[in-house]
Structure 1
Amino acid sequence: MKKRIIALSLISTLVLASCGTKNNSSEQSSTTAATTAAETTAETTATAAESTTETVTEHETAAQNEVGFEGMTEVGADALNMGNYYVSVDSSSSMFKIADCILHVSDDGMNADIIIDSKSYDALFMGTEEDAKNAAEADLIKYTENKSGQSVFNVPVEALDKEIQCAALSAKKQEWYGRTLVFRADSLPDTAFREQRYATAESLGLKDGKYSIDVKLEGGSGKASISSPAEMTVKSGKATAVIEWSSDKYDKMVVNYLEYTPETADGHSKFEIPVSGFDYRMHVQAETTAMSEPHMIDYTIYFDSASIKESE
């Protein structure tokens, strides 16, 4: 497998510590084409919706996204090291497209720069749309413009992995629209946490050798899947796993800023990637070529240590 360090365009302007929902079934080859077509349609529809200026009708009919994940536990500022980190944000509205988000952790708590490509919103309010309608002007969060011409809203963050209410003021309609946001702790790098948050091959006492392990994928449109159990190799206390996608349209994966290229066979893209840890949602990205242009999509992969078996 080939890999290379990805250059991040924003590093030159901001020193960051680093960056950083559902099927778990293995699909038969005969369903690969149907799955790919379904995912393409879902992703293309979402992309088109996100680039459209919001109207009242769209607000009423726009697809509602699931946010967070079952059993999530709040992560406060006291669990994190001070610093600036890229963070993924789930939004309940397909109309509210966040291009990037930078989390700032300090002694005073957490806040985040929500970066939006368009000028679709004049202000944000951290609360419900009803509360926003009655809020004082001083409580509204106005945007600033960065060097790329994007809108940047600096918002307080109560906690990660918590549903937070946010209202956005449409620039065109001057109407408030409610959203639910979740700032994802699983998208932060290991260095962001004060304590280790997962098991490793070393802590589990895994000897060098071949294993199988159950894996669970979350993220994207929910149409793609990966094969489970997956093949895992442990060497010198480090684990890698072979991730086999339900489609052959994935041409790149990114794990901890390293890029991995696939082997493609029998309608599946296969990648051998490092297993950073077990029993937590490991953040990865995968690029699909199934749409009109390549699309990088955020996913998490859960490696279940209780399922590890030695291969014969």
Structure 2
Amino acid sequence: MRNRRLGTTGPEVSELGLGAMGMSDMYGPADETESVATIHAALDSGITLIDTGDFYGMGHNEMLIGRALRDRVREDVVISVKFGAQRGPDGQWLGYDASPTGVKTALAYSLRRLGTDYIDIYRPARLDPNVPIEDTVGAIAEMVQAGYVRHIGLSEVGAETVRRANAVHPIADLQIEYSLISRGVEENILPALRELGIGLTAYGVLSRGLLSGHWTKDRTNAPTDFRAHSPRFQGENLAHNLTLVEALREIAGQKSVSVAQIAIAWVLSRGEDIVPLVGARRRDRLAEATGALDVGLSEEDLAVIEKTVPSDAAAGERYAPAQMRTLDSER
């Protein structure tokens, strides 16, 4: 496991990070004991970056990570936390609160649930339409000054918002979906990040399991599973997208690796300023993901992959319409 730096002002982290969301929410039931074992296995493999959100399982994910890190050296781990998404007791989404008071209140609860006195990277989960990004970042900057936060990040915002935020306080990284079939970031956002010296943490590198090589068209999802409503997992869209996976499987087979490893290796190849997050919930899936570090992709390999799966090849948007409207990154 090698390291990469998140931007010019951010922390040095492992070249792969662990996204913990699925251990508490969004993708159906997860085994808590196996989740803790997977976090431990990730740390033992050299992964230092763990990403969570205070709304994943309404705080459960943070408490799970806090439990897993109890017997580890805190300074050896970089914890990234998203905040702002509001949920009701039934789990329904109610909007966003990234106001200055919301920033500080959410941070206080996250520190308690994680069992730590500081968070390495703190970021609003989405742009709050009612709060200027300058106010949100300014409030986090106060928490940096107070020692409760080490670095400021952003999530799913566009280039203009990144520039405005960075003018208030240096931004370490932008977290945004980026995979072989989610490449919108390449047009305007990624060039802006590189101009400003801001890193990118890429989530959804396996497109929520679609590019894992393990998905089948007859798989059923619980109503609470994100994929039950995701356009890319529906009907003809799914059938089309799985043909892309099968084409990718042929390439992977020629290199004696898995589809998931090819997909992760492709994101790794996009630049030293990009750190993919893998959402493994089990140790076997984690081992498969870290195996991508041993996959070498030549320029010829990359050309074949991109010819096989062009940037506009996917059928369906990456979120349902109502959620797409909340994404400043898509405007």
TM-score, structure 1 as length reference: 0.27
Which structure: larger Rg?
A: 1
Considering fraction of residues, name the structure with more strand.
Answer: 1
